[in-house]
Structure 1
Amino acid sequence: MTALLAAALGDIAGARGVTEIAKSSGLTREAPYKSLRPDAQPRFDTVAKVFRGLGVRPRAEAG
């Protein structure tokens, strides 16, 4: 599941501009590329920063 989420975020960040996402999230330019490739196992704090940089607020609900 983590790899799928990382790959999806990588696609979204790529479409919006990884460099811009990195700047707005406080990450180095290389961090999103490394953390969001399909085979990556990103840390939660990195994923949270990318969400913040994208302006996305993830939400979980009990089903």
Structure 2
Amino acid sequence: MSPKILVVDDEPDILELVQTRLEMAGYETLTAESGEVALKCFFTERSDSVGGRHPAVVWIGSEIA
């Protein structure tokens, strides 16, 4: 089973480019166009890593718990 990476970026072209490159390298990818979508995806899908150009704070940890 390939490692799964959640890629987060608000630029669709960048998101597609990173997704394509990671899949060419043998990784399974999930994509999210915002911090909010990424957070939902993080809690519903199992990923081995999360990456993006700049982290966006959507909720404080205590609000998630």
Normalising by structure 1, report the TM-score.
0.35
Between Structure 1 and Structure 2, whose CA radius of gyration is higher? 2
**TM-score for the superposition, normalised by structure 2:** 0.34
Structure having the higher helix fraction is: 1
